[in-house]
Amino acid sequence: MKASLLARRDVKELLLSHPNLELLISKLESKKIKGILSKELISEITNEINSEKELVEIGRTIAPIKPREISPAPRPHGLEHYDISLFETNANEIDNEIEVLFEITGNSITEGRKEDINSFFNNRFQRISAMIRQQGLPNRPISISKLIQERRSRSGYNTSSTIIGMVNDPKHTKNGHFTFVLEDDGAETDCICYKDKENPNPIIKTGLMQDDVIAVTGSFVDDRDTFRVDEFHRPPLKRHHKKSSEIGISVAFLSDIHVGSKTFLEAQWMKMVEWFHNDPLAKTIKYLVLSGDVVDGVGIYPNQDKELAIKDFYKQYSKFAELLELLPEWVECILLPGNHDVVRPAEPQPALDPEIQSDFNSTTFVGNPCSFKLHGVDILSYHGKSIDDFVSMPEVSYAHPVEAMKEMLRRRHLAPTWGKKTPLSPEPEDNLIIGKIPDIFVTGHVHGHNCSDFKGTTLICSSTWQDQTSYQRMLGFQPQPCILTVINLKTHASASIPFA
């Protein structure tokens, strides 16, 4: 009574036999829960107490224990900026205008032979070097074999030469210098960029990725065979001027729904469904972009079956189709796969199988990555598996995945590294090159959330619909689930709506 809790007769036994009654009541008080105590509520709080106890007993360094109520997501772009009066019509009165510019489905032609791998890398080398040359380099680039042949005349501090190549084995030395091998189609050379306290080179701080294409300017010094790098050159990245739609229309972004997992947040999905049917802002949303991992899949990691509520992937997709069906009929989905989906893991990944597609209405199925236009606005959507490789860079972490997206734009490539965490399909053309800077660039995969501007492009890390998994808890990673990112394609105003 002191805690303003009312215990009815049907929970009397449960309370009298409860091993931690005082703790249970203080927990309810701390959560400001008052009124009638139901059996469900008691068992929910008891489970929470037990799981906390379990974690403490394991005695490991543990992530912050997941709070029962997920605190509302921060709103970097509050709704006050999202002026509903700018929309002349509701989304249900506007026809679809989706124009897919690139996705791989039906066009994967590699046989995975050595020649395919060669032409894949040659294509990358040619296209990114052409972008780098566009901006004008300090001197005309020469081939690495010519540099080596003319090594004597290209030595000394007063000479400088520029070469373009692909990076191999980039690393920082113990003394803080940066070394790598640069290779073009004819030869290779060791390179070093010395640490300079007064004039630090930004590349020394950020490093490079294996298989990046860059140009460097420098010379041979001290009679060594290592090329001393003074300057790095990348494709130009000027301020981008976004295109806008003629009409006021919104697009929403989500990713990593992970239907089928025990940690899929169904109650929060229902909250969003209700919002979609009632909120004036929702009536402006014509499209929902789903950037991969829409189901949890089966056999994706060891012992996954213990974490699955639905153990058959067909049923996982059917369930997701039912959940999408609850959204208003005017919302058109654009769905691409991720590493949990049932398609080949090698990127670019094709769209989901037609048999799976048949479960869905109002959905456009595309591959990963996919570039497309919505009412004239360029969008690049990529699931983001390569962020697992980009986190090796000092500035990038799972907590700041948007830094990985900036790195992708800087090198004009979504997944440069071959043979590490991101499987790549060696197509004769490297389809993971970012040929054109998009107006909106969206990823998922890391279960974080961000919406920010980078040199005129809107970067979106789509939020997940999966709660913290036991693996993430062990790693100390707190996801940011259930945040719908919404963009007005006419004004590019954004809103982040939390449903947790």
Q: Which is nearer to Fe ion, 405 or 493 (CB)?
A: 405
Question: Which letter does DSSP use for residue 57 in this model?
Answer: H
Rounded CA-CA distance 462/73 in Å is: 13
Q: Which is nearer to Fe ion, 339 or 431 (CB)?
A: 339
Q: Which is nearer to Fe ion, 261 or 458 (CB)?
A: 261
Binding characters for Fe ion, 208-247, by CB under 5 A (x = yes):
----------------------------------------
Q: Which residues contact 453 (CB under 8 A, 6 or more apart)?
A: 459
Range in contact with Fe ion (rule: CB under 5 A) among 74-82, 291-299, 365-373, 477-485? 291-299
Closest CA to 104 of 370, 390, 382, 438: 370
Q: Which is nearer to Fe ion, 256 or 389 (CB)?
A: 256
Contacts (CB under 5 A) with Fe ion, residues 160-219:
none
Place of tokens 């860059």: 214
The total number of residues written for the chain in this structure: 500
State in angstroms the smallest separation of the CB of 259 from Fe ion. Answer: 11
State in angstroms the smallest separation of the CB of 306 from Fe ion. Answer: 18
State in angstroms the smallest separation of the CB of 427 from Fe ion. Answer: 21
Question: Which letter does DSSP use for residue 388 in this model?
Answer: H
Going across the sheet that includes 285-291, the strands are 363-365, 332-336, 285-291, 250-254, 483-488, 494-498
State in angstroms the smallest separation of the CB of 370 from Fe ion. Answer: 15
Range in contact with Fe ion (rule: CB under 5 A) among 4-12, 312-320, 433-441, 442-450? 442-450
Range in contact with Fe ion (rule: CB under 5 A) among 293-301, 312-320, 405-413, 476-484? 293-301
Question: Which conformational region is residue 445 in: left (phi greater than 0), alpha (psi within -120 to 50 degrees), or beta?
Answer: left
Rounded CA-CA distance 383/1 in Å is: 52
Closest CA to 465 of 451, 476, 475, 480: 480
Tokens of 245: 């739609």
Rounded CA-CA distance 26/443 in Å is: 41
Residue 175 burial by Cβ neighbours in a 10 Å radius (0-12, 13-18, 19+): exposed
Q: Are 483 and 255 a contacting pair, CB within 8 Å?
A: no
Question: Which letter does DSSP use for residue 86 in this model?
Answer: G
Q: Which is nearer to Fe ion, 154 or 319 (CB)?
A: 319
Q: Which is nearer to Fe ion, 250 or 349 (CB)?
A: 349
Rounded CA-CA distance 172/184 in Å is: 22
Closest CA to 46 of 63, 61, 64, 68: 68
Q: Which is nearer to Fe ion, 445 or 473 (CB)?
A: 445
State in angstroms the smallest separation of the CB of 444 from Fe ion. Answer: 7
Q: Which is nearer to Fe ion, 293 or 389 (CB)?
A: 293
Place of tokens 């002026």: 83
Q: Are 170 and 371 a contacting pair, CB within 8 Å?
A: no
Q: Determine which residue in the list 293, 341, 378, 407 makes contact with Fe ion, applying CB under 5 A.
A: 293
State in angstroms the smallest separation of the CB of 152 from Fe ion. Answer: 52
Tokens of 367: 């591959």
State in angstroms the smallest separation of the CB of 462 from Fe ion. Answer: 10
Binding characters for Fe ion, 243-272, by CB under 5 A (x = yes):
-------------x----------------
Place of tokens 């997920």: 70
State in angstroms the smallest separation of the CB of 459 from Fe ion. Answer: 18
Closest CA to 254 of 465, 86, 106: 465
Binding characters for Fe ion, 331-350, by CB under 5 A (x = yes):
-------xx-----------
Q: Which is nearer to Fe ion, 213 or 259 (CB)?
A: 259
Rounded CA-CA distance 401/390 in Å is: 9
Q: Which is nearer to Fe ion, 115 or 266 (CB)?
A: 266
State in angstroms the smallest separation of the CB of 256 from Fe ion. Answer: 4
Tally the C-alpha atoms within 13 A of residue 421's C-alpha that lie toward its C-beta. Answer: 11
Rounded CA-CA distance 33/31 in Å is: 5
State in angstroms the smallest separation of the CB of 475 from Fe ion. Answer: 14
State in angstroms the smallest separation of the CB of 47 from Fe ion. Answer: 25
Q: Which is nearer to Fe ion, 443 or 458 (CB)?
A: 443
Q: Which residues contact 33 (CB under 8 A, 6 or more apart)?
A: 5, 41
Contacts (CB under 5 A) with Fe ion, residues 89-108:
none
**Alpha carbon 182 to its chain's center:** 29
Binding characters for Fe ion, 380-419, by CB under 5 A (x = yes):
----------------------------------------
Q: Determine which residue in the list 240, 445, 449, 490 makes contact with Fe ion, applying CB under 5 A.
A: 445
State in angstroms the smallest separation of the CB of 351 from Fe ion. Answer: 16
Range in contact with Fe ion (rule: CB under 5 A) among 155-163, 323-331, 347-355, 437-445? 437-445
Instruction: Report if residue 449 touches Fe ion, rule: CB under 5 A.
Output: no
Count residues binding Fe ion (CB under 5 A): 5
Q: Which is nearer to Fe ion, 261 or 431 (CB)?
A: 261
Chain residues binding Fe ion by CB under 5 A are 256, 293, 338-339, 445
